[in-house]
Structure 1
Amino acid sequence: MTETSKRVAMVTGASKGIGLGIARVFAAQGYKVALVARHAEAAEEAVAAIVADGGEAIAVSADVTDRASLKSAVEKVQSAFGGLDVLCANAGIFPSADLETMSEDDWDLVLNTNLKGMFNTVQAAIPALKESSAGRIVVTSSITGPVTGFPGWSHYGASKAGQLGFVRTAAIEMAKYGITVNAVMPGNIITEGLEGMGEEYLGQMAASIPLKRLGSVEDIGEAAAFFASPAAAYITGQTLVVDGGQILPESLEALG
């Protein structure tokens, strides 16, 4: 039995996109994985695919804006797998709204889901993670907000920058329990939403990246798995940009 086969990971927003990619990577590495999502049917389908590939996984229905449902989700994970070692706080939304016309409801929806939802998730998992011999918290942030900006995403950028401020102080507070807290910052990652934009649009996006391709959800999963691994045991309060070099060029000329 491998070390990872004894460990349990819980991933929020795991029914699709980056969350599903993270869950698949952890399952492939031998973790027992709980896929947490609002949409139970989609999560169940994702679990069935993971199990068909030889992984061990369960689906848990919860909403990160509902603290009670998250507490229940953690209890279900503990009941099913006997504990919790790794929390991947990934759930997030990114609706577009221009600053001049953005409503208070628009702002609150994104901040409540992305930032407060992350806080709710982490706080719900702390008691279980304290019982682990090597607790890990990995937050999915973004380059948008902490490093770059994009029109229509001022609320999203604020939420993602806020996550990094949270990570740094949470890492200090959790250190006494041996729990590390880190964040992955994805660049342009190809997900279900982007695939529908067409080849020309995807090609233009890839052209602005030094590695000349969009990232895969598994690229983010591998970064999260690194933070969860023994190799990262002495790393906490840090961020890892996974963007193919997207934030490096000063201009298009720099891309050659």
Structure 2
Amino acid sequence: MEFAGKRVVITGAAGVIGNWTAEAFAKQGAQLCLSDIREDVLKARIEESQILASAMALTHATDLTSSVSIQSLVSLVQTHWGSPDIVVNNAGIYPSRLLMEMTQDEWKQVMDVNLNAPFELIQAFSRLMVETKTQGCFVNLTSLSATRPRVAAAHYAVSKAGLSMLTRAYALELARYGIRVNAVSPGFAPGSHVSSLSDDYVSTMTQTIPLGRTSGPEDAPQSILFLCSERASYITGATLVVDGGSSAGNYQLPVART
């Protein structure tokens, strides 16, 4: 029970990795505050999971494009806990859209959810940590796209590149308070309620992963738990890449030469 009594906030908790991470923390005795704009999906996740149901988690339907909604989440945590010990900025959106076709609203929505919301949440929750003398930690979920953009996902790539830099900048500024800020860059994890993927697409993507499989329930969550544990007490400003080797380079079988 490595995290017994620890107070953990997870955004995007109705998503695949968010749900896996919530269960991983719950198994280790953590108190949870689960945030997601899809309140119906979030509640269904809790009802489907005996582990989460028994954890008696706080929930909040957070619109991460709204500063008012973000402050409502912060106030909920402050009222019940005073301060969190751990915050996982997991929420992210990745709509497909070419730059030439993208509207300002579409660009802004991705930036708000993927970059501006983590900025506001870390700012607000770190202030609570400082006030309560809590030496907590933050983990941001970034992506291989932060360094290798792809067509029709430039807004997502830019937001994740910004989040990587924000991770390092906050790590520098919060170190004096004993607050650590790190990131995890997870691999391909199909199963999103937001963006359904065909079996053919999943199969094709899996073939590009050196270790030959997609990211599973233990991969990103256990990396997040490690960065939040005492075992990682000397790690801050780092990004832990957990992608089956995808970021190592292009993984293609050699073409026979004649």
Fold match (TM-score > 0.5): yes
Match of 1:67 in 2: 67
Percent identity between the aligned chains?
32
Question: 1-side partners of 2:61 and 2:175: how far apart?
Answer: 30
Superposition map of 1:1-256 within 5 A:
2-52=1-51, 54-81=54-81, 83-130=83-130, 131=132, 133-144=134-145, 146-193=146-193, 196-253=196-253
User: Number of aligned pairs?
Assistant: 254
Deviations along 1:55-94, one digit per CA (max 9) or x if unpaired, are 3422112222222322221232243345410000111110
Structure 1 residues 157 and 209: CA distance shift in structure 2, 3 A: same
Deviation at 1:236, TM superposition (A): 0.3
Structure 1 residues 133 and 120: CA distance shift in structure 2, 3 A: closer
The secondary structure found in structure 1 opposite 2:248 is: coil
Structure 1 residues 208 and 251: CA distance shift in structure 2, 3 A: closer
Q: Which runs of 5+ in 1 are unaligned?
A: none
Structure 2 letter corresponding to 1:143: L
- Native 8 Å contact 1:44 1:58 kept in 2: no
Aligned-residue CA RMSD (Å): 2.3
Deviation at 1:160, TM superposition (A): 0.2
The secondary structure found in structure 1 opposite 2:174 is: helix
- Native 8 Å contact 1:51 1:57 kept in 2: no
Question: 1-side partners of 2:2 and 2:16: how far apart?
Answer: 27
Structure 1 letter corresponding to 2:64: V
Deviation at 1:196, TM superposition (A): 4.3
Structure 1 letter corresponding to 2:118: M
The secondary structure found in structure 1 opposite 2:101 is: coil
Question: 2-side partners of 1:17 and 1:52: how far apart?
Answer: 16
